[in-house]
A and B are shown apart, each in its own frame.
Chain A
Amino acid sequence: MLSYIIRRLIIIIPMALLVVTVTWILIRMAPGSFYSSEKKLPPAVEANIKKKYGLDKPVLQQYGILMGNIVRGDFGDSLKYEGQSVNEIIRRHFPYSATIGILAYLLALAVGLTAGIVAALKQNSAFDYGSMSLAMLGLSVPNFVLGPILVLIFSLWLFWLPPARWGGASSLILPVITLSAIYAAYIARLTRAGMLEVMRSDYIRTARAKGLSEWKVLLKHAVRGGLIPVVSFTGPALAALLAGAVVVEKVFAIPGLGNIFIQSIFNRDEPLTLGIVAFLSILIMVFNLLVDVSYAFLDPRIRYE
């Protein structure tokens, strides 16, 4: 088990470097540059800029310098935001995305698991149909629709909550609800399906036959097995949530990483894009590893050598 984890951890670094390299090639293939704008620059000004940022060197040499710095954990300075290092920008904005991401996922888990389990236990009841219809709605209403509707009701009609911007717990409520809706819906459906399957399986019948109470059967045996699809979903979902939810960040003016990532691509801010790509790829690989490891605890049939 331990050696498996170590092997997986070791591969993360070369994988991240590969991802960075591919991204770098894609950025270099895209037309335009960080300094291009409506106004065409005089050649002298352009030459000064290229010299300042080392863009006058041969491309392979630029790549070498870049990789040398990245291996040492230095992604350099943003080209758009003068004097700010990429590491500093990620450090500064990741907490915003992580806060709403984690809160949204916790909320989604609480709502989704409860709804899914109850719906599975009371299959074909009014609750089952009701909650699953709601989940269907949650999946189909995109957050750029849900967000403004919540703002309209709670900020502009009732004046209960701020319409946007970061600041205090009250400003988190609407973005967290908006962001969690789709995840809650998905988790509810996954949980219900997983639970229905498990509840009909042989080992549950065995557990019941042993005379365990229905509660014990449910909590000790059924939920563990029924949750495996949810856990598989959690890895990529949580990584995506932590990486920043662009739409929610825009609607609620939250200074998170997602929006900065997108803007960095539009701005052709190469170091910033590469830094965030590396950060996110590591994040995703770590979460996938955590998910794989947790299978071993949830399903006794899974063993890693």
Chain B
Amino acid sequence: MARISLNQTFLGTMFIVVSLFLSGCASSASSRYWGKTVAPTDNVLRYISGSEPESLDPAFGTGQPEARVYMALYEGLVEYHPKTMEPIPAIAERWELSPDGTEYIFHLRKNAKFTNGDPITAKDFVYTFRRALSPELASRNANLGYYIKYSEAYNSGNMFVKDANGQFLLAKDFVKETEKKASDTPEAEPEMKPESAPANFGAATEFQSFMNAPERLVVKGSEKERAKQLEADPKLKAAVEGKELVPVTAENLGVEAVDDYTLRLKLYQPAPYFIQLIPHQLFRVVHQPSIERFGKDWQRAGNIVTSGAFMMSVHRPYDELVVVRNPHYWDAGSVRLDAIEFYPLEEQTTMMNLYKGGSVDAIYNHTTPPAWLDEIRKFKSEYQDHPEVANEYYSISVKKPPMDNLKVRQAFSLAIDRFALAQFRKTPKPLSNFTPDGIFPKYDEARKKVYGERLKAENMTVEEWSKGRLFDAEKARRLMTEAGYPVVKAGNGWSCPTFPVDKVTLSYNTAESNKAVAEFNQAQWKQNLGITIPLKNMEWKTFLPFRSGVQYEGVARNAWVGDYMDPFTFLNLFYSPTNDGATGFHDPKYDALLDAANKELDEQKRLEMLAAAEFQVLQEQLVIPLVTQATNWIKKPYVKGMYPNPGTLHAWKFVYLETDPNKWDTNADNLMKESDASVDEQINRLTATMAARK
């Protein structure tokens, strides 16, 4: 999910200055709770959800503010666990993965209904998937579904190639030499052959045999691009010329309604984390008849038909969106709130005022302003401080001198005291890895093992190594000197006269917090290396192409929030076709390692391969990791069943308001460990269908 941080400019500064002054006079730490806190009288949650939703179409809206609203309005095959965000049954009561890892079968419950009472069947999911991936809808999230067979080809408007005998040309006959070489590396084993998938997983259908047949060759749909594609590959050109081109259609997509309550998904290749993506908004089920009937007006109040635990009641853009209990929801009996009022606000001071005045019950993540933090976090019952599946780092332009020198990159990283940085930022924790720590426990284990093996040669433990990466000014100066830029003593500090300061800039998108961090790090480099790096701030949308095109020199601010609960969402940033890390790094070996990891069905082995990939990112110092983000949000102590999970995405049907003050939260730090009998019972009942038939 894209990270949004553009609302603080000059205005933000002034608010902070003012709120600093005000929080000074407004201290009310003597009371038990922060601000007006009274037992709720109605069963309505008032929640500040972030910016105004772009759309009420779950296949269309891309951000977290939208996701929070969609989680009330729409349900998918599976839902996020309220604490861990692992998938738990929703409309699918259970699912199975084929032994080769490329085919999912979802068994849908028979009593699921849309808000107008229409039953939800596998056909609705087929429609939902096809629509989400159609080129006409042009969803910005479409690529999240690219693991589904032929989805990328369909979404790109590509064509199959058919010869005179009516046979389709196959992709395996046209693998490029370079790609072959990349996958020939020993790590790329074992080679998976999709065509060897057992044909009898689930009910055998004609569609299944089509899906299990060897992958067909596709070429570009647009004439201009196809000509370019063929020009680059003479073998392909010779084979395609004179043959019939057949567009890839929605019907070719690897999703099938085996019967009304059985849905089959076929992937290109094993993607062990794909199930983690299924609760994503892109895959939440939408209602075909109303979309077709009302066209672009289908999202309006009165027209909209949804599938979730709640349904739309009132929508006043930029003011509020009210959802109420859906009487047709299959699990309506366990939905605990009568309604949720979403307030689309982004001004942090305003949020704090509303919360303190008792007008809202909970707020989304990253919202407690630094100036208020010291006061608010005294209220243990309300302040939510848990690690988030998000990091903050500086991308390095690794192809341009002087940053093409590994030692220079390492020196810049080591010269930053991350403990001091974390303390300065107040909420985050220092980060030596790239993938945030403490979010994926099994991966943390794998990392420890793999790093340990690699470090044996250097006679170092993982702990020493990690700690050494957080700050080591001495080593930084030594590396700099080794790189040919000697750091010499100058008065009380250091100086590095030969370093080409004009070739390095620290660029960041305009935001108060980014500026503060940039200045902090600038001071660190000055203090520890004797180098003063100029800062450059840019408006968000101007910054984006500047960074992703690696037009910057030196380092650029970057951050990532995981799209799903798997370390791959982070490591994928350095995968050549993605290159969201924006470093200019490109290594077929790294790509092959990730590919191989995803083909690995043994979870532990796969995680170890991913850990090896991360080790490479760290060793080559493609980025300067800074901190792991904290969720940093507040809720009233009477809001229960709402947890500080790593993505701050709440399955609303578990949330309830407790009227008895004796049962209110006392310490949010324990929320994730403590059990809440009523919520646990709900979750156990849901997951029981999973275990029963395994």
- Determine whether the beta carbon of B138 is less than 8 Å from that of A52: yes
Residues of A within 8 A of B146 (CB): 42
A109 to B357, CA, bound (A): 32
A285 to B511, CA, bound (A): 35
Closest to A50 in B: B138
- Determine whether the beta carbon of B140 is less than 8 Å from that of A49: yes
Closest to A84 in B: B317
Which of B62, B297, B317 is within 8 Å of A92, CB to CB?
Answer: B317
* Size class of the B contact interface (CB-based, 8 Å): 35 or more
| A48: interface (CB < 8 Å) | yes
User: Which one of A119-127, A148-156, A290-298 is at the interface?
Assistant: A148-156
User: Which one of A8-16, A196-204, A225-233, A249-257 is at the interface?
Assistant: A249-257
Residues of A within 8 A of B627 (CB): none
Interface size on A, residues (CB 8 A): 55
| B354: interface (CB < 8 Å) | yes
- Determine whether the beta carbon of A36 is less than 8 Å from that of B156: no
User: How close is B71's CB to chain A, nearest CB, in angstroms?
Assistant: 19
Which of B55, B357, B540, B544 is within 8 Å of A83, CB to CB?
Answer: B55
Known: A37-B2, A164-B350. Contact between A255 and B62, CB under 8 A? Answer: no
Which of A33, A44, A80, A251 is within 8 Å of B152, CB to CB?
Answer: A44
A40 to B317, CA, bound (A): 28
Residues of B within 8 A of A30 (CB): 541-542
| B288: interface (CB < 8 Å) | no
User: Which one of B18-26, B78-86, B635-643 is at the interface?
Assistant: B18-26
Residues of B within 8 A of A51 (CB): 135, 138
A166 to B343, CA, bound (A): 11
| B205: interface (CB < 8 Å) | no
| A68: interface (CB < 8 Å) | no
Which of B140, B318, B357 is within 8 Å of A35, CB to CB?
Answer: B140
- Determine whether the beta carbon of B52 is less than 8 Å from that of A32: no
Which of A157, A251, A259 is within 8 Å of B318, CB to CB?
Answer: A259
Closest to A246 in B: B11
| B356: interface (CB < 8 Å) | yes
A48 to B359, CA, bound (A): 43
| A247: interface (CB < 8 Å) | yes
Residues of A within 8 A of B135 (CB): 44, 48, 51
A32 to B540, CA, bound (A): 8
- Determine whether the beta carbon of B296 is less than 8 Å from that of A83: yes
- Determine whether the beta carbon of A144 is less than 8 Å from that of B356: no
Complex interface bits, B308-330 against A, C-beta within 8 A gives 1, otherwise 0? 00000000111110000000000
- Can you list 6 A-B pairs, Cβ within 8 angstroms, ordered by A? A38-B580, A52-B138, A81-B54, A83-B299, A155-B357, A266-B539
New A-B contacts (12) at CB < 8 Å, excluding given A32-B541, A144-B11: A32-B545, A42-B152, A45-B138, A47-B156, A47-B222, A83-B296, A144-B18, A149-B22, A152-B25, A164-B350, A164-B359, A166-B319
Binding site for A on B (CB under 8 A): 2-3, 6, 11, 14-15, 18-19, 22, 25-26, 35-36, 52, 54-55, 57, 60-62, 135-136, 138-140, 142-143, 146, 152, 155-157, 222, 296-299, 316-320, 343, 345, 347, 349-350, 353-354, 356-357, 359, 539-546, 548, 559-560, 577-580
Q: Which 8 A-B pairs have the closest CB atoms?
A: A32-B541, A255-B318, A44-B156, A82-B55, A37-B2, A163-B353, A48-B138, A38-B2
